[in-house]
Structure 1
Amino acid sequence: MKQLLIASLLALAATPLLADQPSAACAAKRARIESEISQAQAQGRQQQLAGLQKALRANQSHCTDALLAAERESDIQKATKKVAEREQKLKKAQAKGDPQKIAHQQGELDKARSDLTEAQKPLLP
């Protein structure tokens, strides 16, 4: 009985310590942001740096797995919509037969598909 009481007290004492630990997904996002901050600093991009620092503060104070999942789903939906729009524009360009417009729209579609693939990547590396 005494051992059970001690084990319970230890578990309760450790709970706040565990609550302060960020989830693996939040930690991975934080690491990505920190890497981008280093790149922005190295290249002297002050506006991007300010935005990244703001994102890092938001990650440190508000990041949850549920929030990341919702953001990811939103990003996937936006990227899917963009791919559909780019496909329509490519079809219009193909109907007109202008090789320059076709090439341009194909490039835009390729970029949109790349963005969709990036959005679909799992939260954890």
Structure 2
Amino acid sequence: MKKQLISLSVVLCCMAAGTAYAATGCEAKKQDIQQEIAYAREHGNTARLSGLEKALREANEHCTESGLLTERQEKVAEKQRKVEEREQDLRGVEVDGRIKKIEKQKRKLAEAREELEEAKADLNR
């Protein structure tokens, strides 16, 4: 617990000082979890806090740069499959010509594309 508080303090101090250092990989993942921990503490969300502390322990024990990259690449592939599925769904409803269904599928496709772009951006974090 002390180690986590010290780590969080260091992270917050670096952020407050405006350092140009941008963590990547496992370090960025741990920082994200630590920020969520601080937010959960601030808002008294003990259930979320417990889960986040477990996630931080797991990240500290098991996170590797290669494993994280593989996980992120798999997520990009999954999101790409989702986009392709949504494109196929859109083509199917376009044949029917029903405007409401077409618009609904276009929204779903846009959401899937946005998720894909987010997953791609995470590859570089």
Instruction: Provide the TM-score with structure 2 as the length reference.
Output: 0.67
**What is the correspondence of 1:107-118 to structure 2 with a 5 Å cutoff?**
107-118=107-118
Percent pairwise identity: 38
Q: Which runs of 5+ in 2 are unaligned?
A: 1-22
Distance 1:105 1:63, change over 3 A: same
TM-score (norm. length: structure 1):
0.67
Where in structure 1 are there 5+ consecutive unaligned residues?
A: 1-22
Match of 1:56 in 2: 56
Distance 2:73 2:120 in 1: 8
Residue 90 of structure 1 aligns to a residue in which SS? helix
CA contact (8 A) 2:26 2:65 kept: yes
Does residue 81 of structure 2 align to residue 81 of structure 1? yes
Cα distance, 1:87 vs structure 2: 0.6
Whichever of the two has the greater Rg, that structure is 1
Q: CA deviation at 1:107?
A: 1.0
2-side partners of 1:88 and 1:47: how far apart?
40
Report how far residue 57 of structure 1 moved: 2.0
User: What is the aligned-residue RMSD (CA, Å)?
Assistant: 2.6
